[in-house]
Structures are given as structure tokens and as C-alpha cells.
Chains A and B, each alone.
Chain A
Amino acid sequence: QVQLQESGPGLVKTSETLSLTCTVSGGSISSYYWSWIRQPAGKGLEWLGRIYTSGGINYNPSLKSRVTMSVDTSKNQFSLRLSSVTAADTAVYYCAREDYGPLRSAFDIWGQGTMVTVSS
């Protein structure tokens, strides 16, 4: 079955850029939507954005100026970059497959999550 695995630095310095990669195994990354979602400790879920393997991208407007997503179909990976990070960006970051269509969306497969701490 399809599995997702996040990877990247667990510690990022304030004002620098957070970079994470999600590797898709057990299936093809093509023809699906892929999202990033984060969760600060003890708090709720925040959607960061989605990317479609054909190139369509939607970002959370609250982060739009700082977030960049990309996909590498040859490696079955997609990535997140979040610039100018502050302590408020400290969270567990999840990648997820999104079953997305007109009026509907559901995150049906999730990675285990990776903790990212922002500190000076």
C-alpha cells in the first residue's frame, strides 16, 4: 500500500528556510494531489498547501508569501520550503495524499510526521 515518509532537518534557525521532502512509496505519485499540513504541539491542524503532479498548486493565503512546493515525479517525491521562519513555525509537519475534486477533499494517506523546531 502507499506510504509517505517526511524527511528534513529537525532544527532550523530563525529567519532561515525550512525544507522538507516527502517520499511516496508503494505507488506512483502521478495523478494525485499532495498536501502539507502542520500541527504545533498541543494545537490543531493547519493546511499549508497542495500540489498536483501536473503542476497545479494552491497555497494557504496566510503563508503564501513564504511557502513554496514542488514535485519530482522521477523520484516519487514532493517538497516544502518555508522561508523566514520564526518560533511560530515550530510544529510537527505532515505530508498527506489528498483526494481532491469539485466541492470535496479528504486526506486519505498521511506520513508519520516530522518535528521541526525553529530556534536561534
Chain B
Amino acid sequence: QSVLTQPPSVSAAPGQKVTISCSGSSSNIGNNYVSWYQQLPGTAPKLLIYDNNKRPSGIPDRFSGSRSGTSATLGITGLQTGDEADYYCGTWDSSLSVEVFGTGTKVTVL
């Protein structure tokens, strides 16, 4: 069940910046940490951001995360053709007792 809403797609030219929003509620984003995943075509998702704004080892600082209230945002600066992928937010929903993911956003580099 996708209780987290993301824009279906975003696009920008190489070198530019994109932001992806993830909208939820007090039972999920509002009270639990958010993570973000990148899914390149035909591959498994990869963790990009955890605990709202932390990057795992090896993830470049072009990727950033933030949370405000019941929404979270992923930012990608210095956009590269290799960033073309689907991006998902995720968090725990305390009311549903389930891990929930966003609807997914396709990033296109123009």
C-alpha cells in the first residue's frame, strides 16, 4: 500500500539539480526516520539516504535528504546521465505496522 506520495517524474539537464518530494502523515514520516532508494533499470534498489539525511559509505554528497513535518525531500545536484533511475522513499508506518514505500519517481536527464 503506497501511503507515501511522490511525483511520478522529474527531469533536468546534466549538471542541474532536482528535488523529489515524499508526502506522508504523522503516523509515518511525521514520527519515523525516512530512507531513500535508487533503482537503476533492471537492478535491485540501492540505499541512498537513511535516518532522513545520512549517506551510507560510498554515496556521493550530490545526494542529500531532509525531512520537515510529514514530508521528506531528496535532492540530487550535479545531475549525471547515470542518475537516470527510479527513486523511492520509505519509512515505518506506526498505525499500519508496516514498512511503507513511496509511489516512486522517475528521474530523467534531458
Residues of A within 8 A of B (CB): 35, 44-47, 50, 58, 60-62, 94, 99, 103-108, 110-113
Asked if A45 and B98 make an inter-chain contact with CB atoms under 8 angstroms apart, the answer reads no
Provide the bound-state CA to CA distance between A60 and B90, in Å. Answer: 15
Contact code string B80-110 (vs A, CB < 8 Å = 1, else 0): 0000000010111000111111111000000
In-complex Cβ contact of A107 among B2, B32, B90, B104 (8 A): B90
Interface range on chain B (Cβ under 8 Å from partner): 20 to 34
For this complex, 29 residue pairs linking A to B, each with C-beta atoms less than 8 Å apart, are A44-B88, A44-B102, A44-B104, A45-B37, A45-B90, A45-B101, A45-B104, A46-B1, A47-B100, A47-B101, A61-B96, A62-B1, A103-B31, A103-B32, A103-B92, A104-B50, A104-B92, A105-B32, A105-B91, A105-B92, A106-B50, A106-B51, A107-B35, A107-B90, A108-B50, A110-B45, A111-B44, A112-B43, A112-B44
Describe A's contact surface by its main secondary structure: strand
CA–CA, A31 to B97, complex, Å? 22
Q: Which residues from A are CB-within-8-Å of B50? A: 99, 104, 106, 108
- Per CB-CB distance, the 7 closest pairs between chain A and chain B, nearest first, are A106-B50, A47-B99, A106-B35, A104-B33, A110-B44, A45-B101, A108-B47
Least CB separation from B88: chain A residue: A45
Interface presence of B60 (CB below 8 A): no
Most buried by B among A50, A103, A106, A110: A106
Chain A residues with CB under 8 Å of B100's CB are 47
Distance from B8 Cβ to chain A, minimum over Cβ atoms (Å) = 11
- Which residues of A are found within 8 Å of B104, using beta-carbon distances? 44-45
Instruction: Tell me, rounded to whole Å, the shortest Cβ–Cβ distance linking A113 to chain B.
Output: 5
Give the contacts of B1-50 with A (CB-CB under 8 A): 1-2, 31-33, 35, 37, 43-47, 50
